[in-house]
Amino acid sequence: MSRHVAIVGGGIIGLATAFELAGRGMQVSVLEARADFGAGATAAAIGGITPQSEAYCRGPLRYVATWSTNIYGEFLESISAVCDHDFNVLDSGQLQVALSDNEMNRIVRDLVPVWLSEGFETIVLDREETLEHEPSLGPAVVGSVLLPIEIAVDPPEIAAGLLAALTTLENVELRSDTIVRDIQSSHGRAEISLEEGAQLSFDAAIVTAGVESRNLIPEVSRGIYPMRGQGVEFQTGHHVYPLNHHVYAANGGPRRSAYMVPRSDGRVAAGVTYEPNVDSTEVDPDSIASIVEGLIEVCPEVGEWAKIRTWSGVRPASVDGIPFIGHVSDNVIVSAGHQGLGITLAPISAHLVAELLEKGRSNLADRERHALDICSPSRLQGTG
């Protein structure tokens, strides 16, 4: 008889994990508190896959993030094989641009040597070369660095593809509007209590509930906190990718840095803020205005684009920027605290949980064990 596993949380991490487990023949029930799957942090994600440029990856997490990026194509192909959908992936790399000589010097002096020493392809471009790569950029740009490994995707498209694939699988149950209040490991089972009063029993439970994971898993309660991110989406008038790359410029700090991720239908998602300990999905007009000002400095055409929507989402941040992935009891595993890297880390998070559940830690390959050591839920207690 196959194992019956509960996934508590139906964002990108939960859906990817459910897909991986179902593909290994397990019975999977996905329990999502919201009315819609992928409606939390996943819906607010901008879509850059950033193992090289993301500040939180300048350390142990880089090993995990790079691995996840390297298997992203395989991850999307496996979903496509089930739901017959081709995903749009911009694979030309990220262009990290500088708006001053000081900023360009900082990138070349402080970042490029580190990236090169770690084996990342890193291409330094002067102003003329930068504008050849991205003609829409403005006169303030003095140079850039091209990071070829960093692809860009459309997070809602991936979530929709995962959901479509899961609905076709007979060994998957999808339950929305299902609020979990408690999870206990008892007598070789994971016992789940629902808000409505029902009690459910599973062979194992995987908690992928974002910020809410801290309310279900005491072991990580002090390690996960909310981080609001605000962004804006434009329609450019194009019907294909309006930019050749996803583009980033650190031109004013976390509330003004410019990040643009183009979509295949002419849209551009842009932003985003990093606001620690703000557990709110309200949009602050001043923050959006500051984002747009920063974008126009980098790409003057932004001022002519039609604003489609603004949004605010809450990321599940962790105190050290590394997610918590691993056992918290014999029958309960957590996979949460991915911060702004949930989209980037979805493939590897699903793989690690599946390997751990299927084989047990003692039977894992060295690379899986190393990745789980990095993301160990017990690291805050200094025990792993």
* CATH code for the domain in which residue 245 is found: 3.30.9.10
pLDDT at 384: 38
- 317, 342, 371: which is the final residue of a domain? 317
In a domain, 360, yes or no: yes
> Are 313 and 237 members of one domain?
yes
pTM (2 d.p.): 0.95
Q: Considering its fold, how many domains does the chain have in total? A: 2
What's the mean pLDDT when you consider all of the chain?
A: 94
Residues of the chain falling short of pLDDT 50: 383-384
- Residue 348 to residue 344: CA distance in whole angstroms: 9
> Are 47 and 133 members of one domain?
no
> Which tokens in the block code for residue 304?
């002519």
pLDDT at 179: 97
> Are 124 and 234 members of one domain?
yes
Secondary-structure percent of the chain, ordered helix, strand, coil, rounded to 5: 40, 25, 35
pLDDT at 371: 98
- 317, 338, 361: which is the final residue of a domain? 317
pLDDT at 252: 59
Which backbone phi and psi does 178 adopt, to 5 degrees? -120, 100
> Are 201 and 99 members of one domain?
no
> Are 10 and 76 members of one domain?
yes
> Are 292 and 175 members of one domain?
no
pLDDT at 383: 40
- 273, 288, 317: which is the final residue of a domain? 317
- Residue 13 to residue 208: CA distance in whole angstroms: 6
Write down the H helix ranges in 231-341. Answer: 285-298
> Are 103 and 168 members of one domain?
no
> Are 102 and 162 members of one domain?
no
> Are 184 and 288 members of one domain?
no
> Are 186 and 51 members of one domain?
yes
- pLDDT, one tens digit per residue, over 245-303 is 999 998 755 556 799 999 999 999 998 899 999 999 999 999 999 999 999 999 999 99
Range of the domain at 111: 94-148+225-317
> Are 17 and 206 spatial neighbours (Cβ–Cβ below 8 Å)?
yes
pLDDT at 6: 98
